[in-house]
């Protein structure tokens, strides 16, 4: 599918990987609606062709309003890039005292990373069905997983479970949507230098993790994530799979 001229929804598009994706899709000629609970960190991303829709991805009415905005201002939605999510504060299942951690710690991460992603998929896919297929394709959905889905670290049970489920959804979604000419792909980043990570992680922590990245031994650039999103959109054979984007990093 061509990016130029397509209408795209980018969740979590106000920061990090989502912001880079919104910027790249717009630069390549897409019209973009950013769905986020926060305003864009860099307001210059907004323009006549990049609109902001205040949206909690777990909220049906919010997502519905964002889709309405995209359709009324730009036309039929063809692209969805789900970036809203995050690991939040890690926490072991058992506290040092031996007491079990509160259930909310697990439920909140599943709700944002898995339920939120699913919620936008179901509503956006229904919107895509309203558009005619162009050159054999109707839409593309790209979800953001994580290396943690494969090598979840201690304290990341909830996040790993949520991202593992994002991966597990990919093939059944791709199969279900195939008759509608909609592809579904997941990207599992290693460690990327979003503003959040650059701010929150001290230099020593960044140096320790990049020492584990075989090549290139550095954090990924959000623009490199965006570049893979564009490749996935433009290559019609990429479907029903999860692509790692991690410089061969395997988390320990």
Ligand X SMILES: NC(=O)c1ccc[n+]([C@@H]2O[C@H](COP(=O)([O-])OP(=O)(O)OC[C@H]3O[C@@H](n4cnc5c(N)ncnc54)[C@H](O)[C@@H]3O)[C@@H](O)[C@H]2O)c1
Positions touching ligand X (CB under 6 A) are 11-12, 14-18, 35-38, 55-58, 83-87, 112, 116, 144, 146, 189, 191-192, 194-197
Q: Kindly state the smallest distance separating residue 53's Cβ from ligand X, in Å.
A: 10
Report the catalytic residues: 159
Torsion angle defined by CA atoms of residues 190, 226, 195 and 55, in that order, rounded to the nearest 10 degrees: -110
Query: What sections of the chain are H helices per DSSP?
Result: 16-27, 60-73, 103-110, 116-128, 157-177, 195-200, 203-210, 222-234
- CB-wise, 7 or 213, nearer to ligand X? 213
Cβ–Cβ contacts within 10 Å for residue 208, how many? 11
Query: Residue 83: which of 140, 119, 35, 50 has the closest Cα?
Result: 35
* Those residues with Cβ within 8 angstroms of residue 70's Cβ, 6 or more apart along the chain or in another chain: 7, 9, 31, 33, 51, 53, 77, 127
- The nearest distance, CB 110 to ligand X, in angstroms, is 12
In the complex with ligand X, the residue whose CB is nearer, 177 or 192, is 192
Task: Find the residue with minimal CB distance to ligand X.
Answer: 16
Task: Please state the closest distance from residue 55 (CB atom) to ligand X, in A.
Answer: 6
Helix or strand or coil: residue 47? strand
Minimum gap (Å) between residue 142 Cβ and ligand X: 11
Residue placing its CB nearer to ligand X in the complex, 161 or 181: 161
Which residues have a Cβ under 8 Å from the Cβ of 201 and sit 6 or more positions away?
209
Residues in the chain: 252
Q: Which is nearer to ligand X, 42 or 176 (CB)?
A: 42
Whole-angstrom Cα distance, residue 132 to residue 115? 28
Q: Which residue number, 36 or 138, has a Cβ lying nearer to ligand X? A: 36
Closest approach of ligand X to the CB of residue 180, in Å: 25
């Amino acid at each position: 599918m061509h990016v130029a001229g397509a209408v795209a929804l980018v969740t979590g598009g106000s920061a990090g990987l989502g912001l880079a994706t919104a910027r790249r899709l717009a630069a390549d000629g897409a019209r973009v609606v950013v769905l986020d609970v926060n305003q864009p960190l860099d307001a210059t991303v907004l323009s006549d062709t990049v609109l902001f829709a205040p949206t909690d991805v777990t909220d049906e009415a919010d997502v519905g309003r964002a889709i309405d905005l995209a359709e009324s201002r730009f036309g039929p939605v063809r692209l969805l890039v789900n970036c809203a999510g995050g690991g939040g504060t890690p926490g072991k299942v058992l506290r040092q005292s031996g007491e079990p951690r509160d259930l909310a710690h697990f439920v909140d991460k599943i709700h944002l990373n898995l339920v939120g992603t699913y919620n936008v998929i179901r509503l956006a896919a229904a919107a895509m069905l309203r558009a005619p297929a162009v050159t054999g394709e109707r839409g593309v959905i790209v979800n953001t997983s994580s290396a943690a889905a494969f090598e979840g670290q201690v304290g990341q049970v909830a996040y790993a479970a949520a991202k593992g489920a994002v991966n597990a959804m990919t093939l059944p979604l791709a199969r279900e949507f195939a008759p509608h000419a909609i592809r579904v792909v997941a990207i599992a980043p290693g460690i990327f230098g979003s503003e959040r990570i650059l701010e929150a992680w001290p230099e020593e922590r960044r140096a320790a993790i990049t020492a584990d990245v075989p090549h290139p031994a550095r954090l990924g650039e959000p623009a490199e994530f965006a570049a893979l999103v564009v490749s996935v959109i433009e290559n019609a054979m990429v479907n029903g799979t999860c692509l790692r984007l991690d410089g061969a990093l395997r988390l320990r």
